[in-house]
């Protein structure tokens, strides 16, 4: 019988660290078991576990890594952070993760800036042989949609790059990515006819404002050409169906307040996965406040169909992941 979750721990060692742009670093990990790591990529999430060698050994060997992690004393429980598998080279037993850095306060950002080859981690990810390896832990589904709108801040850049790489040539649409600096604009590898726009923030720009302005300008222009998203009645979307506990995955609950349709996690971060495709497939991931603005503008003000839209708060300003 297949195990309950497609996710399991992989013991890895940092082998390379490459600066891709002003604020992005690509860290390459290797580990013998990575030959079994699922290469689904798109926006499939992974967990990075930072701990002592003894803790990493225990986490990697535990029958249930999550139970092991939860059972650790609060004071010494290893830090866990959510990232995206950027490239998986199973034949070489290698995995790349692209980190955007934001100083050394956050343990993951600090690791990206300071880690040395030989440093160890445990990465929790889907393993290829599991029957749900390409459906657990990801929100992206095209479902035959021939047009896409991909929207994200710098933390979503790796997932957007993966999604673009997965699209067939006939798919059209737009991608908007807000980044900290003009030097963070990277060429995307895609066969699709999707126009990619990078929006570098200046010191004067409020985080997310370039993104909301650009997206609403695009959707409004599209509407004036008679190609609005959809004005179908909003229908419930699925929330956080994953095999790994993320800020978004478990214990989702409807939150009342300014918008009673918003689904949030227990930490109050908005996370809502549209269950079906549609004419235009919309995927949005950024800091939680920006995602909330985009969701309001698209669903409430422009009548987009909730079923074909995913809105995911990847992080929350002022909060550490999981807090």
Ligand X SMILES: Cc1cc2nc3c(=O)[nH]c(=O)nc-3n(C[C@H](O)[C@H](O)[C@H](O)COP(=O)(O)OP(=O)(O)OC[C@H]3O[C@@H](n4cnc5c(N)ncnc54)[C@H](O)[C@@H]3O)c2cc1C
Query: Interface residues with ligand X (CB under 6 A)?
Result: 45, 81-84, 98-100, 102, 105-109, 155, 158, 246-247, 314-321
Residue among 230 and 238 whose Cβ is closer to ligand X: 238
For 244, the 3-state DSSP assignment is: coil
* Element of type H or E holding 292: helix 288-295
C-alpha closest to that of 7 among 58, 61, 65, 55: 65
Residue among 127 and 140 whose Cβ is closer to ligand X: 140
Euclidean distance between CA atoms 221 and 313, whole angstroms:
26
C-alpha closest to that of 315 among 270, 274, 283: 270
**CB of 134: closest distance to ligand X in angstroms?**
16
Residue among 20 and 228 whose Cβ is closer to ligand X: 20
Rg (CA), the chain: 19
Residue closest to ligand X when measured from CB atoms: 106
Residue among 173 and 247 whose Cβ is closer to ligand X: 247
For 251, the 3-state DSSP assignment is: coil
Residue among 147 and 242 whose Cβ is closer to ligand X: 242
Residue among 272 and 321 whose Cβ is closer to ligand X: 321
And the tokens for 167?
Answer: 């699209």
For 294, the 3-state DSSP assignment is: helix
DSSP 170-208: T-EEEEEEEESSGGG------SSEEEEEEEEPPTTSPTT
Burial of 34-73, coded b for 16+ CB within 10 Å and e otherwise, reads bebbbbbbbbbbbbbbbbeeebbebbbebeebbebbeeee
And the tokens for 112?
Answer: 């990206």
And the tokens for 45?
Answer: 């999430």
> Other C-beta atoms within 10 Å of 13: how many?
13
Contact 278, 227 (CB under 8 A): no
Residue among 201 and 222 whose Cβ is closer to ligand X: 201
**CB of 259: closest distance to ligand X in angstroms?**
21
């Amino acid at each position: 019988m297949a195990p309950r979750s497609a996710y399991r721990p992989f013991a890895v060692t940092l082998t390379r660290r490459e600066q891709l742009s002003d604020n992005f670093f690509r860290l390459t990990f290797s580990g013998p078991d990575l030959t079994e790591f699922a290469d689904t990529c798109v926006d499939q999430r992974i967990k990075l576990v930072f701990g002592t060698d003894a803790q990493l050994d225990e986490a990697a060997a535990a029958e249930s890594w999550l139970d092991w992690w939860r059972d650790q004393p609060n004071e010494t429980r290893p830090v866990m952070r959510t990232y995206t598998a950027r490239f998986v080279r199973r034949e070489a037993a290698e995995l790349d993760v692209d980190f955007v850095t934001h100083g050394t306060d956050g343990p993951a950002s600090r690791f990206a800036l300071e880690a040395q080859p030989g440093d160890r981690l445990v990465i929790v990810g889907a393993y290829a042989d599991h029957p749900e390896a390409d459906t657990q832990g990801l929100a992206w589904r095209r479902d035959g949609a021939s047009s896409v709108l991909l929207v994200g801040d710098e933390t979503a850049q790796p997932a957007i790059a993966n999604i673009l790489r997965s699209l067939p040539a006939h798919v059209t649409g737009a991608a908007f990515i807000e980044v900290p600096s003009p030097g963070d604009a990277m060429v995307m590898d895609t066969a699709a006819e999707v126009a990619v726009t990078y929006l570098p923030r200046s010191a004067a720009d409020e985080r997310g404002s370039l993104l909301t302005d650009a997206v609403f300008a695009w959707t409004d222009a599209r509407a004036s050409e008679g190609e609005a998203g959809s004005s179908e009645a909003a229908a419930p979307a699925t929330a956080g169906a994953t095999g790994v506990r993320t800020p978004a995955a478990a214990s989702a609950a409807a939150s009342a307040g300014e918008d009673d349709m918003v689904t949030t996690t227990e930490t109050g971060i908005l996370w809502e996965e549209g269950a079906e495709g549609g004419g235009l497939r919309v995927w949005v991931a950024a800091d939680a406040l920006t995602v909330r603005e985009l969701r309001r503008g698209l669903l409430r003000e422009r009548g987009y169909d909730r079923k074909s839209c995913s809105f995911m708060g990847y992080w929350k300003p002022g909060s550490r992941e999981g807090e």
